[in-house]
Structure 1
């Protein structure tokens, strides 16, 4: 596997960062706290998400003060390219993943869980395995050396992930105990079921059931016999009831016929009375028609209507003619009224317009007077602005005079000041770097003097005796003196530069004053021109206002004259209204007479129709009575026929049969009720016995199931015991195999680093005890090694564990990138070269990509590529810069 590129936005201390990683050795260089390790955390987070955050949460990932973050990672695995992208966003007070995508050569996978599952399958390791395998953290290696054998065993087991087998063994033990607990409970249930089955079987339930069923059959036979006798009694009862019902129906029908006969007689008499009443009503209608004809003749004689024939059509024609004339007169009347209204409206309009014109003329003369009073004030303002314009010209010339002896022209002061400030910033950075070097040298001298007082070498920490490095303090003191002289010189240069900046700032301020004065002058000139134009416009406006006032006064006079003429015309029009109203009154009188004549004609026609209707009704009633007389004769014949069929003796015999049958049925019902109760009782006892038999069968089934369950639990308990022992044996076997492989890899790695005659080899026993053998066979504890050798031994051990984790016992797994975090903490300059050899050996063993995180300048020259990390003190944001190491060839493959 190889990391190709990582891009960050708002990830922890990075605002925007984009880094490409190459094959070979890459050194990530920067001071402590600059954000070097954050780059590695971003790679792990892109692959495994929240599982790579240890005890932190997603909220810690987003840069403080931002709302979202984005991480992209491009990597290669097994010769194929992949890209994973994650986006986070703050929602309220917590962060959530809003996008998680893994692009593979075959498909695109979305969702945090699915992506993490695919990465784990692809790389064949989870987040913990990846970090433990690829990432050599600062400080963790030292724990392996300083730890006791048992602690070292646990730590290496954890690194080799053998601790999971112990977890599995403990889980198997917990499972075995759990199965034992369940098995004991099931055995108690089994014994309880056996006791219940034995109790049920001792009750002879089948014999009880047979006795009860025999008793039920006897009762059922007796019930059937009584039910047959009751059925015969019911048949006798039904026959008697049928005779009595027919007798009752005949008697009821005779009574009904008598009622219907009487009703028909009454209806015939009532209809005859109605015929006589209708004859009188017809006579009354004829009399009313005669009176209406007399009233019509009187109206015709009293009115001059010019009617040749007073029928309804002639009356309607005459009404239509008069209404048409009345409509014509109404239209004429309306035309006259409209003409008068329009003329009155025109008169009002003309007088209003005349008043408006006179008002406009007065306002125009007032406005002209106001404008004349403003003209004098405008002329005084023009004089004041011309004086102020001369003063601004003088001030501009005075400000320009400050550039007469300066080294820059007007307009170049800003650029000149920026150049000086940039020069001071660079000088301040250089002073800060020199000051940091002075503090480093002072700390190194102080640490060396402390070691020297203790009788140890100030460079490597070993006893001073026979050490060639005791003069290193003098070199460091000379270096400190040179750095202090350089800092003093730089500070003097910065003081001189501050004075030049102060003069440049004064020129810049003068330049700004010139710009402000020039802007004021241009504005004032523009205002002066606008004011002059305003004065000319106001003079013209005064003349226009006076001319408009005179014209409005002339128009007002003309409109008043026109209104007076219209008032005379309206008086003449009103005289024609009286003639029209007189003629319309005569027409309305004639129309009222004609409308009454029409009503009389309609009433006479209605009366004639009503009389004819009554005559037809009298004829219908006569026909109806004839039909009723025929029905009356038929009903009398039917009544005589029914009376002849009536037999009292037969009816009395039927009454006796009914009474005897009802008495017998009542007695039989009581007997049957008692027998059915006894049968139901027996049936209930049978049901209870059958329920007990069903319970017995269910208990037997449960007993068999409980026996099978106990057998399975006993088998499972034995399997759990076997599994527990298997995990323990497997852990011991794998530990021994790993110890053998790790010892071999450790010796190979240590030989590559120490290619001399100092040490013969390293022994790692089954309890993870480490022993270093010198060439003379003398054993050494790793604690007895010098500081630099001990640190290098630790790194060799960690790299051997990396090889074991990456390759596997069989040597088939792919090698992920190897990451070394601050490996030179305990190394002197002599051992750094051996560290380079160690890194070179790992690349020779097939590690395609190695990333070294360090703040040590000595390691920078030994890299294929350099990534420098710096943090801005103002924004607290880290930034990346790619660089080529001066001695990249040291790690190049041969």
Structure 2
């Protein structure tokens, strides 16, 4: 696996950054706090999301922003991938979005899917990544300080041995589950066997034969009784037929008697109706005479031509009357339209007059406002001119202040503008003196310790150099040389301290000149701002004068327009009065037309009523004739009904009816007794049938129980076999995990010794031992053992780096064959190393790259040896004003970049 490119937006101290990463050794270089580690933390975050954040999600979002985006492009196992993660802070929550795009248009979207895909690709989660490929700042000794059990868990997870333990536990759970099921099935089998024995003891087949014989005898008796009942029912039905025939004749006789009565009643009713119609004819004749007189009177009042619209029967031509009325209604509609239009015109003229007067009021008010505003502007112009004089005086004062500050450089050692370089020069001189002072102070302290130790040894009668007896020792005189050297170095230290005090004063003087330069810049900025404000204020005063003149002209124009509007309003009101006179005339004409329309409507209504009365007289006469014809027909039907009534009265015989009733009663009594006996026999038959069904059900249950017993026995045999298999599988996984762990421990121990021998080449240590319980022991040449914690700080750091690199090699070479590993990332690995140990670290890095084929190694460091050995250098800078970091890429480190530290 190789990182190809990383792009950041608002991640920690980066507002935006875009960095391409090449194969080989890349060193990220910069001063402390510039953001070097954050660059690689972004790569870690891109791969593992929230699991890579040490703290809350919002802690990685740049201060003042609400969203961060990190993109990572990488190549893995021959495929190209692009991974994008983003966090957005909504105040009450932080959202997490991510997308991974792989070869062949494969995609994973969402945190869960992407995290799972990355873990599958690298075959490690975030913790495993940190323990294997990413040595984070300050955690170089993490594996040494871990307990053996913690170290075992880390390495087992990295080597995927935890899966075997997981499989062993699954097999154990399966074995226990099979045992639980086996116990349950054995109980079930025993229960089935007991039930089969109980059923077989009942003699079910003999009981079934007895019940079937009893049922057959009962069925035969039922069939005999049913035949006799059927015969009795035939006798009963014949008697009932005789009774039904006589009953039908009686019913027909009753119906004929009712028909006779009904015909007689209808004849009488029809005669009464004829008498009523005769009276109604007389009444309608009176109505005809009244309506004829009313039509004649209305015709005279209608102003119509009687010869043109009158008929010979006294009615009028209703169509002609309606046509005249329609003409009048049209005339009324026309008059109404004229009235409506006149009303609209009157309203329009009145509204126009109101509108014109309102507009005149508005124009006069606007003119007054503009005159008032013009007066206000006159006062503002006077105030602004006074303020202009004050600002011009301030400009003159600032120019004098700037000249005074510049005058301080007349006797200065540098020209105006060079104070910053003077400060840097004197600070560098001060730093050199401080370094010299610190070296002298360390040497003085060392010499003082040697002199004090030597004097103590002399007092004890021992040589101050070798610690042997002072008699005959050639080294006693060296103590005097140390005293002289101590006095000389103390004098030199005092001189350097005096020089430091002098240079401090000169630095302060240079800083004072620099402050004057900055004050001139500040005053110059203020002067430019004040000049700009002065120009703007002068322009504003001119604008106010022009505005005042414009307002006075506008006020005159609005007063003139208001007078014109008032004259137009007066003309509109006079026109409205003329229109009201026309409206009165139109209303009078409309009222006369509506009165005549009402007269014509009454005439048409009276004429139609006259015609209706004459039609009623004719209809009533026709109805009387129809009723007379109907009564003649009813009298003929009445004679026929009376003849049929006499025939039926002769056909009814009461003796035959009584005999039939007695025969039916005897048959019904027998049927009742026989059916009661049949019901008892049927109940007995049903009971026997149910008993037979119960016995047969028990026989079926017995067969089913035998089948279940046999199936349970077979399942017990299968479960016993499965239990043995799961127990063997559990033991196999345990043995395989132990074997693989021992193989990996032996391989890791060999690789650790190879790596440690490479980077720590001295005669102090023999070898390192890694036990099966992951205990680490260092053996000295003399056979003595050491715990890794007993090594010096630099030795511990090299030991841990060696262990990390050995684990990396083991994963790359030992898990399922060669594996595409992520880049090896070392974040500030030189924290605990002196210069000699750094050289050994360089050897380790080069060996990992060249001999062990690690394609990409990323190192965060400000150490010059590592910087010089880089295949590619990434330099990180931070702007102290904006607190924003930026990156620059160079193929080789330059002196200018090294000087930044």
With normalisation by structure 1, the TM-score equals 0.75
Instruction: Please report how far the alpha carbon of residue 848 of structure 1 lies from its aligned counterpart in structure 2 after TM superposition.
Output: 0.8
Distance 2:301 2:86 in 1: 112
Q: Could you say if the C-alpha distance between residues 831 and 679 of structure 1 is closer, same or farther in structure 2, counting changes exceeding 3 Å?
A: same
- Pair 378,647 (structure 1): closer, same or farther in 2 beyond 3 Å: closer
In structure 2, the CA distance between the partners of 1:433 and 1:532, relative to structure 1 (3 Å rule), is farther
| Structure 2 match to 1:227 | 226
After superposition, residues 31-70 of structure 1 pair within 5 angstroms as: 35-50=35-50, 52=52, 58=57, 62=61, 66-70=65-69
Which of 637, 652, 665 is the matching residue for 1:659?
Answer: 665
- Tell me if the contact between 2:133 and 2:825 (Cα under 8 Å) persists in the aligned partners: yes
C-alpha distance in 2, partners of 1:116/1:819? 20
707 and 771 in structure 1: CA distance in 2 versus 1, 3 angstrom threshold: same
Within the candidate set 724, 727, 744, 2:730 is matched to 724
**Map of 1:256 onto structure 2:** 255
**Contact kept in structure 2, 1:336 and 1:577, CA below 8 Å:** no
Q: Which residue of 2 aligns with 1:609?
A: 615
Alpha-carbon distance in 1 for matches of 2:516, 2:597: 125
Q: Residues 748, 13 of structure 1: CA spacing in aligned structure 2 closer, same or farther, 3 A cutoff? A: same
How many angstroms apart in 1 are the aligned matches of 2:334 and 2:158? Answer: 121
CA distance in 2, matches of 1:872, 1:264: 127
* Structure-2 separation of matches of 1:370 and 1:734: 100
SS in 2 for 1:6: strand
Matched, 1:524 2:553: no
The secondary structure found in structure 2 opposite 1:826 is coil
**Equivalence for 1:460:** none
Alignment correspondent of 2:515: 498
Tell me which residue corresponds to 2:823: 817
Q: Contact (CA 8 Å) 1:6, 1:74: kept in 2 or not?
A: yes
1:213-612 maps to which residues of 2 (within 5 A)? 213-279=212-278, 281-282=280-281, 285-286=284-285, 289=288, 311=311, 400=399, 490-531=507-548, 605-612=611-618
Partners in 2 of 1:128 and 1:448 — Cα distance? Answer: 46
**Aligned twin of 2:858:** 851
Distance in structure 1 (CA, Å) of the matches to 2:433 and 2:238:
137
How far apart are residue 233 of structure 1 and its match? 1.9
Secondary structure (helix, strand or coil) at the match of 2:822 reads coil
Call closer, same or farther: CA 1:574–1:395 in 2, change over 3 Å: closer
Of 750-759 and 328-337, more deviation after overlay is shown by 328-337
Q: Contact 1:400/1:514 (CA < 8 Å) preserved in 2?
A: no
Q: Deviations over 1:563-587 (max 9, x none)?
A: 9x999x989x999999x99x979x9
User: Residue 669 in 1 paired to residue 675 in 2?
Assistant: yes
Residue 735 of structure 1 aligns with which residue? 741
Q: Is the 8 A contact 1:402 1:510 kept in 2?
A: no
Deviations 1:687-738 (Å, cap 9, x if unpaired)?
4444444444444444334333433332232223212221222123223322
Q: 1:395 to 1:691 in 2, by over 3 A?
A: same
Instruction: Give 2:836's match in structure 1, choosing from 830, 840, 843.
Output: 830
User: Where do residues 113-128 of structure 1 align in structure 2 (5 Å cutoff)?
Assistant: 113-128=112-127
Q: CA deviation at 1:847?
A: 0.8
- Alpha-carbon offset, residue 755 of structure 1: 6.6
Deviation at 1:665, TM superposition (A): 1.6
Query: CA shift at 1:663, angstroms?
Result: 0.8
Offset from partner CA, 1:730-767 (integer Å, 9 cap, x none): 12322332244334433443454467887776665656
Aligned-pair CA distance for 1:169: 3.3
Distance in structure 1 (CA, Å) of the matches to 2:216 and 2:330: 114
Quick one: distance in 2 between partners of 1:659 and 1:731? Answer: 102
- CA shift in 2, pair 1:193/1:789, >3 Å: same
Q: Answer yes or no: is the 8 Å Cα contact 1:821–1:854 preserved in 2.
A: yes
Q: CA deviation at 1:250?
A: 0.9
Match of 2:869 among 862, 873, 877: 862
8 Å Cα contact 1:806-1:816 kept in structure 2: no
Cα distance in 2 between the residues matched to 1:74 and 1:239: 109
**SS of the residue aligned with 2:630?**
helix
SS of aligned partner of 1:620? helix
Q: CA RMSD in A?
A: 6.0
SS at match of 1:831: helix
Q: How many residues align?
A: 846
User: Which residue is 1:803 aligned to?
Assistant: 809
Q: 1:360 to 1:196 in 2, by over 3 A?
A: closer
**CA spacing shift, 1:325–1:718, aligned 2, 3 Å:** closer
Q: Distance in 1 between matches of 2:777 and 2:683?
A: 101
Give me the whole-angstrom Cα distance separating, in 2, the residues matched to 1:528 and 1:331.
66
Distance apart, 1:492 and its partner CA: 4.3
> Aligned pair in 2 of structure 1 residues 46, 519: CA closer, same or farther (>3 Å)?
closer
Extract unaligned runs of 5+ from structure 1.
Answer: 409-415, 456-463, 889-894
In structure 2, relative to structure 1, the CA distance for the partners of 1:780 and 1:810 (3 Å cut) is farther
Structure 1 position 75, deviation (Å): 0.4
* Corresponding residue of 1:16: 16
The answer (yes or no) to whether the contact 2:759–2:844 under 8 Å persists in 1 is yes
| Range 711-720 or range 376-385, more displaced | 376-385
1:279–1:771 CA distance, 2 compared to 1 (3 A):
closer
Residues 79-124 of structure 1, C-alpha deviations (whole Å, 9 max, x = no match): 3321111233346644343342323244333343443444344444
Instruction: Give the superposition deviation at 1:286.
Output: 4.8
Aligned mates of 1:739, 1:373 — CA distance in 2:
100
Contact 2:322 2:604 in 1 (8 A): no
Distance 2:215 2:873 in 1: 106
The alpha-carbon deviation at position 2 of structure 1 amounts to 0.5
CA change 1:442–1:131 in 2 (3 A) is farther
Gaps of 5+ in 2: 408-414, 454-464, 468-481, 896-901
Correspondence for 1:682: 688
Paired with 1:303 and 1:153, the residues of 2 have a C-alpha distance of 127
Corresponding residue of 2:473: none
SS at match of 1:852: strand
Given the superposition, is the C-alpha separation of residues 69 and 785 from structure 1 closer, same or farther in structure 2, using an over 3 Å criterion?
Answer: closer
Structure 2 residue aligned with 1:413 = none
**Distance in 1 between the 2:824 and 2:506 partners?**
45
Q: Distance in 1 between matches of 2:530 and 2:142?
A: 69
Native 8 Å contact 2:74 2:80 kept in 1: yes
Measure, in 1, the Cα distance between the counterparts of 2:644 and 2:543. 133
Secondary structure at the counterpart of residue 670 of structure 1: helix
Where 2:853 maps in the other structure, the secondary structure is: coil
Residue 395 of structure 1 contacts residue 517 of structure 1 at CA under 8 Å; is this kept in 2?
no
SS of the equivalent of 1:81 reads: strand
**Alignment TM-score, normalising by the size of structure 2:** 0.75
Aligned CA distance change for structure 1 residues 230 and 118 (closer, same or farther; 3 Å): same
Residue 448 of structure 1 and its aligned partner are, at CA, apart by 9.4
* 24-33 or 599-608, larger mean C-alpha shift: 599-608
